[in-house]
Amino acid sequence: MDRMLYISMNAAQQTMLAQAANSNNLANVNTTGFRADFEQFRSMPVFGQGLPTRVYSMSERPQTDYQQGSVQSTGRELDVSVQGEGFIAVRGKDGREGYTRAGDLHITEAGQLVTGTGLAVMGEGGPIAIPPAEKVEIGADGTISIRPIGEQANALAILDRIKLVKPDLKNVFKDSDGLMRLKDGSNAPLDATITIASGTLESSNVNAVSALVNMIELQRQYEMQVKMMKSADENGAASARLLQLGN
């Protein structure tokens, strides 16, 4: 069978993978603190015995877009946004520490401070637990202060401090659960220079218009590869008919 068929099949498959990554970006256009994924195609020769006669394509995620999203004011005391570079440390569902820009925090019935997706926010000594209080305030340095029930308005007590980190982005990758982690598997140290703003949230950095345009382009590429597969099939059928006539 003509090798063109295999090349076009490979291209169609890789285009579908790129479309899946782009669709994931588009689906998270309204997700707080979401970081978009880049995707690109790369030429890959066939390795093995003999000389390579064809070059196939491969879709890959070269990097994550760490550009800051727009910051919106909410007025809610437990909403925070990281100012500039940096991340909020959380405990992932697998128990490992990860990092996020999502600052839509709330307190569970058990008194645990979690993100909007239910991930425990890390403090200086582990996950942050907040006892019953009339008021909870989060300072610019991540310090959490509470006013115990029944106390005066000015009776604020410092409870804990949100772990804010600023690892080198060259050493960070986006894991399969959407959290940022260090490539060597270690945990980033607390960085006292990171500040947050209470009453604000950072939106996703996905550009919806660009993602929609990219979706249309990928769809057209896929259709072109399907047409190539159809042409290869028609060429094969025509060649078979010629062989039959020759016999």
133-148 exposure pattern, b = at least 16 Cβ within 10 A, e = fewer: beebbbeeebebebbe
The SS3 of residue 209 is helix
192: tokens are 């006292």
Tell if the pTM clears 0.85, that is, is over it. Answer: no
For residue 247, the model assigns a pLDDT of: 61
For residue 8, the model assigns a pLDDT of: 84
For residue 205, the model assigns a pLDDT of: 94
Q: In sequence order, which residues have a C-beta less than 8 Å from that of residue 48 and are 6 or more positions away?
A: none
For residue 113, the model assigns a pLDDT of: 96
Q: Average pLDDT of each block of 10 consecutive residues along the chain (247 residues)?
A: 75 88 93 90 73 72 87 93 95 95 94 94 93 90 88 81 95 92 94 94 94 93 89 78 71
Alpha carbon separation from 126 to 54, 68, 131, 160, 232 (Å, rounded): 54, 27, 15, 10, 60
Q: Beta strands 143-148 and 180-182: pairing type?
A: unpaired
For residue 223, the model assigns a pLDDT of: 93
pLDDT per position as a tens digit, 179-198? 999 999 999 999 999 999 99
